[in-house]
């Protein structure tokens, strides 16, 4: 996985151990390069989508179920229910007591985890291939037979509140990130944190949980992704026996979230705290995602992010960190895998005698220079090569491949999109890169977060 997630370590830890969020790089396609050779996708009668990614190189299989529901689908006032539900799925069913599933995975030498993001919630295990049927049975069981009593709900709610205290309330980084999101998105539920607002988490109850479960946890709202040492036909048979035995759930509500209005202002969000030792800034813009973009703008934004700030060869790194030595880090991010509009950002951390203003000014100048002068073909081609190569490496990881398919399908993409993505990247022109920079990176319509060491003066 390339280093394009939010540079705030606490938020990343939260996001990664909890969730692959839409902040992770557009996975949309590591496999593309090797190609969807052998990838098989079909749908069960009850509506469940299935993708099988054969990969015989090692005798393991990654089994994932993705539900097309995330924090952005939560009812207003009930933030945190999607993530809460991720916890509740481990509390046992009518058929299997809490912990039995996890114990089984451990016994066979496998591993398991789950994560919640804005647009999806996923559960997965990595196990020997012969255990696949068992994994499916357990996963299909908890899709519909979870025990949701007050005995279960109450204590687990305390667990998520404690998780929020640990990860967010005690972290100036994370608190700032939350308020940046709430400022960047003026209408869309992406402005609400995945873990939820504390005061709303405190109120989540059994009725909320049951309603959520019955509405969203059904085979017609799920995507099964199986990657590894498997035969697609066998997977199909197994899937039909386990998941296929479940009845389709009720017709799903549309995933039409409230969208962003046109924005017209430059906003800043500042948090000063004695625990912050080095100041930093990050500027954000709302941009199209792979799902909402037209005319190749998402691919152009991915390459803009690579060129501007994707790594050691990027303009920001070379100019600010290497040449001028004013920043200890500087880069750009683009969170392309998202059902709705998403964000593009640039960031910087000063080094030595340089001030935060110096670094911010230099970043702004780099963007202006790119908009003014464009990108030479040679630089763009090198960026494409680097970018494709780094994403292709993800295919060597079963989990990486499964994630690409799962996250793409859960956010409105298709298997064909994954296959075509590398060619779309290759066909991006310098003019397109310059155009998206000019069109979207307008500071007059941006939000910049500042994390500062001293408490602000004033008052």
CB of 131 to a copy of itself, least distance (A): 43
Residue 200 interacts with a copy of itself (CB under 8 A): yes or no: yes
- Interface residue with a copy of itself among 34, 248, 272, 392 (CB under 8 A) is 272
Structure tokens at 183: 């400022």
C-alpha pair distances (Å), 20 with each of 25, 57, 194, 266: 10, 25, 11, 29
CA distance 72 to 430: 34
Residue 42 interacts with a copy of itself (CB under 8 A): yes or no: no
Question: Which of helix, strand or coil describes residue 440?
Answer: helix
Residue 271 interacts with a copy of itself (CB under 8 A): yes or no: yes
Residue number with CB closer to a copy of itself (234 or 442): 442
Residue 454 interacts with a copy of itself (CB under 8 A): yes or no: no
CA distance 57 to 172: 44
Residue 258 interacts with a copy of itself (CB under 8 A): yes or no: yes
Residues 202-221 that bind a copy of itself (CB under 8 A): none
- Interface residue with a copy of itself among 175, 248, 392, 419 (CB under 8 A) is 175
Residue 183 interacts with a copy of itself (CB under 8 A): yes or no: yes
Residue number with CB closer to a copy of itself (144 or 267): 267
* Phi, psi (deg, nearest 5) at residue 151: -60, -30
Residues 291-310 that bind a copy of itself (CB under 8 A): none
Region from 50-58, 74-82, 344-352, 417-425 binding a copy of itself, contact rule CB under 8 A = 74-82
Catalytic residue among 3, 45, 49, 86: 86
Residue number with CB closer to a copy of itself (63 or 191): 191
- Taking each helix axis from N to C end, the angle separating 9-18 and 172-184, rounded to the nearest 10 degrees, works out to 80
Residues 361-390 that bind a copy of itself (CB under 8 A): 364, 367-368, 371
Residue 261 interacts with a copy of itself (CB under 8 A): yes or no: yes
Residue 77 interacts with a copy of itself (CB under 8 A): yes or no: yes
Question: Which of helix, strand or coil describes residue 135?
Answer: helix
CB of 145 to a copy of itself, least distance (A): 32
CB of 412 to a copy of itself, least distance (A): 18
CA distance 21 to 5: 9
CB of 154 to a copy of itself, least distance (A): 21
CB of 201 to a copy of itself, least distance (A): 10
Please list, in sequence order, all residues whose beta carbon lies within 8 angstroms of the beta carbon of residue 423, skipping any fewer than 6 positions away.
32
CB atoms within 10 A of CB 47: 16
Query: How do 222-228 and 342-350 pair as beta strands?
Result: unpaired
Residue 162 interacts with a copy of itself (CB under 8 A): yes or no: no
Residue 163 interacts with a copy of itself (CB under 8 A): yes or no: no
Residue 257 interacts with a copy of itself (CB under 8 A): yes or no: yes
CB of 123 to a copy of itself, least distance (A): 28
Residue 256 interacts with a copy of itself (CB under 8 A): yes or no: yes
Region from 56-64, 263-271, 329-337, 349-357 binding a copy of itself, contact rule CB under 8 A = 263-271
CB of 334 to a copy of itself, least distance (A): 18
Torsion of CA 254, 257, 258, 261, to 10 degrees: -120
Q: Is 178 one of the annotated active-site residues of the chain?
A: no
Torsion of CA 209, 213, 215, 220, to 10 degrees: 160
CA distance 425 to 44: 32
C-alpha pair distances (Å), 57 with each of 125, 126, 377: 18, 14, 37
Q: In sequence order, what are the beta bridge partners of 43? A: 49
Residue number with CB closer to a copy of itself (48 or 201): 201
Question: Which of helix, strand or coil describes residue 25?
Answer: coil
* Phi, psi (deg, nearest 5) at residue 382: -65, -40
Structure tokens at 248: 């389709």
- Site size for a copy of itself (CB under 8 A): 45
* Phi, psi (deg, nearest 5) at residue 185: -95, 115
- Helical (H) or strand (E) element with 452: strand 446-452
Residues that bind a copy of itself (CB under 8 A): 76-77, 79, 175-176, 179, 182-183, 186-187, 189, 191-192, 197-200, 256-259, 261-272, 364, 367-368, 371, 441-444, 455-456, 458-459
């Amino acid at each position: 996985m390339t280093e394009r997630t939010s540079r705030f370590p606490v938020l990343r830890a939260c996001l990664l151990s909890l969730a692959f969020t839409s902040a992770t790089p557009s996975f949309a396609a590591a496999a593309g390069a090797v190609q969807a050779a052998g990838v098989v996708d079909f749908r069960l009668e009850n509506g469940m989508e299935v993708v099988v990614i054969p990969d015989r190189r090692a005798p393991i299989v990654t089994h994932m179920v993705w539900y097309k529901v995330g924090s952005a689908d939560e009812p207003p006032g009930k933030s945190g229910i999607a993530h809460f539900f991720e916890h509740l799925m481990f509390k046992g069913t009518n058929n299997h007591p809490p912990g039995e599933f996890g114990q089984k995975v451990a016994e066979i030498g496998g591993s398991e985890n789950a994560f919640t993001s804005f647009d999806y919630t996923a559960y997965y295990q990595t196990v020997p291939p012969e255990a696949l049927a068992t994994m499916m049975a357990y996963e299909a069981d908890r899709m519909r037979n979870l025990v949701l009593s007050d005995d279960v709900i109450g204590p687990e709610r305390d667990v998520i509140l404690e998780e929020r205290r640990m990860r967010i309330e005690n972290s100036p980084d994370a608190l700032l990130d939350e308020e940046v999101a709430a400022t960047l998105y003026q209408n869309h539920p992406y402005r609400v944190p995945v873990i939820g607002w504390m005061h709303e988490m405190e109120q989540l109850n059994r009725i909320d949980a049951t309603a959520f479960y019955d509405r969203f946890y059904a085979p017609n709202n799920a995507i099964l992704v199986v990657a590894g040492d498997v035969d697609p036909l066998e997977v199909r048979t197994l899937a039909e026996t386990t998941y296929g035995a479940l009845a389709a759930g009720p017709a799903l509500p549309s995933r039409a979230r409230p969208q962003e209005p046109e924005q017209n202002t430059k906003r800043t969000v500042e948090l000063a705290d004695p625990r912050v030792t080095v100041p930093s800034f990050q500027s954000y813009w709302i941009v199209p995602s792979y799902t909402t973009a037209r005319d190749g703008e998402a691919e152009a934004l991915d390459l803009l992010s690579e060129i501007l700030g994707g790594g050691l060869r990027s303009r920001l790194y070379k100019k600010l960190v290497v040449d001028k030595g004013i920043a200890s880090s500087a880069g750009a991010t683009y969170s392309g895998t998202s059902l709705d509009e998403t964000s593009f950002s640039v960031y910087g951390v000063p080094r030595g005698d340089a001030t935060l203003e110096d670094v911010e000014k230099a970043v702004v100048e780099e963007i202006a220079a790119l908009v003014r002068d464009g990108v030479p073909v040679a630089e763009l081609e090198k960026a494409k090569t680097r970018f494709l190569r780094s994403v292709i490496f993800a295919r060597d990881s079963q989990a990486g491949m499964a994630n690409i398919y799962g996250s793409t399908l859960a956010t409105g993409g298709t298997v064909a999109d994954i296959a075509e993505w590398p060619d779309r990247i290759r066909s991006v022109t310098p003019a397109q890169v310059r155009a998206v920079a000019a069109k979207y990176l307008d500071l007059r319509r941006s939000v910049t977060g500042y994390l500062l060491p001293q408490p602000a003066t004033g008052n």
